[in-house]
């Protein structure tokens, strides 16, 4: 199949590179064209025109920052969906809210396009090493068309259900990640305030069964004062907002997530938005 990949940020660039390295016929597009050119060395075909990038493709992957950007790129004045060939597939790997994913599905159907929400669990390193988990909302037949390409970018595929269910699962995953990161940061800071060396406390925590595996790498970043973005803090804040918004729409409550959203919001307000999520510890210090 002919593939297009739109959105070459931290995640998308590495996902597209893995497709190219593994022999996919892939055209890449990014609003900053320089990022598309960087992938030519792996065999990807950079394209300046969004229309030309998608018009003859069987599958179009998108990996974009917010629902607003996804909608503008897909259905704006020069949106790509209008140029996709009939019955082709749009697989959106972006993290969006549930209502939005369902809205995109309906809008795509009106253009004769098959839609799947295919967000991922994993950040920079898993994306680079093709170790992502795909959380897929689509019908079974469509998933089988996507599967060979998802397997080039990840090592696990979870069929969450119909369109919208991939987004549902992704919001729940990121909620848990945010709770874990904020709780770890607060515990370490509290220990330090009581006179315990921060690095000693982190080493104790990450080697107990109470700790999530991701905290080992995050503790190393904190210890090294390396807050370079693997998962930008501002995008986690956005994901928590989407979770709170979805909870409101479902008339349910997620009180812990409300609090954690404000913790990340405070860190973002202090100018840490483009640093890694582990930078949430800085305001606590």
Q: Model confidence over 127-150: pLDDT tens digits?
A: 999 999 999 999 999 999 999 999
Owner of token pair 């018009």:
55
Contact indicator for 119, 93 with CB cutoff of 8 Å: yes
* pTM attached to this predicted model: 0.95
- The 10 Å Cβ neighbour count of residue 204 is 14
**Cα separation, 204 vs 182, whole angstroms:** 17
Q: Which CATH number fits domain 2-162: 3.30.420.40, 3.40.50.720, 3.30.70.360, 1.50.10.10?
A: 3.40.50.720
- pLDDT confidence of 225, banded at 50, 70, 90? very high
Return all residues near 238 (Cβ < 8 A) that are at least 6 apart: 65, 66, 95
pLDDT (average), residues 94-108: 98
Q: What is the 3-state secondary structure (H, E, C) of 116-156?
A: EECCEECCHHHHHCCCEEEEEECCHHHHHHHHHHHHHHEEE
What would the CATH number be for the domain defined by 169-284? 1.10.1040.10
pLDDT exceeds 90 at position 285: no
Is 261 considered catalytic here? Answer: no
pLDDT tens by residue, 48-74: 999 999 999 999 999 999 999 999 999
The three-state secondary structure class of 263 is: helix
pLDDT exceeds 90 at position 231: yes
Percent of the chain with pLDDT over 70: 100
Active-site residue, selected from the candidate residues 35, 57, 102, 170:
170
Per-position b or e across 130-169, b if 16+ CB within 10 A of its CB: bebbbbbbbeeebbebbeebbebbbeebebbebbbbbbbb
**Cα separation, 273 vs 162, whole angstroms:** 33
**pLDDT for position 14:** 98
Q: Taking the domains of the chain in order of start, what are their residue ranges?
A: 2-162, 169-284
**Cα separation, 28 vs 16, whole angstroms:** 7
- pLDDT confidence of 272, banded at 50, 70, 90? very high
Contact indicator for 284, 185 with CB cutoff of 8 Å: yes
pLDDT tens by residue, 156-170: 999 999 999 999 999
How high is the mean pLDDT of the chain?
97
């Amino acid at each position: 199949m002919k593939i297009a990949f739109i959105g070459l940020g931290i995640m998308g660039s590495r996902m597209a590179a893995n497709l190219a390295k593994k022999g996919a016929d892939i055209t890449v597009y990014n609003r900053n064209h320089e990022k598309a050119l960087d992938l030519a060395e792996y065999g990807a075909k950079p394209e300046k025109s969004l229309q030309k990038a998608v018009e003859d493709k069987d599958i179009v992957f998108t990996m974009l920052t917010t629902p607003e950007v996804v909608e503008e790129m897909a259905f704006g004045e020069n949106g790509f969906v209008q140029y996709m060939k009939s019955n082709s597939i749009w697989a959106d790997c972006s993290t969006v809210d549930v209502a939005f994913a369902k809205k995109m599905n309906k809008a795509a159907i009106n253009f004769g396009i098959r839609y799947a929400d295919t967000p991922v669990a994993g950040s920079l390193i898993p994306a680079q090493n093709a170790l992502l988990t795909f959380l897929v909302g689509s019908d079974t037949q469509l998933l089988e068309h996507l599967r060979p390409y998802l397997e080039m970018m990840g090592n696990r595929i979870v069929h969450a259900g119909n369109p919208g269910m991939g987004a549902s699962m992704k919001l729940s995953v990121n909620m848990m990640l945010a709770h874990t990161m904020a709780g770890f940061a607060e515990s370490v800071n509290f220990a330090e305030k009581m006179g315990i060396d921060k690095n000693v406390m982190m080493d104790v925590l990450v080697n107990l069964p109470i700790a999530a595996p991701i905290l080992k790498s995050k503790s190393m970043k904190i210890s090294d004062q390396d807050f370079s973005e693997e998962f930008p803090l501002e995008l986690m804040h956005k994901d928590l907002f989407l979770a709170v918004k979805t909870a409101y729409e479902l008339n349910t409550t997620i009180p812990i997530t409300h609090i954690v959203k404000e913790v990340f919001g405070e860190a973002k307000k202090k100018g840490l938005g483009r640093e890694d999520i582990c930078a949430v510890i800085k305001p606590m210090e």
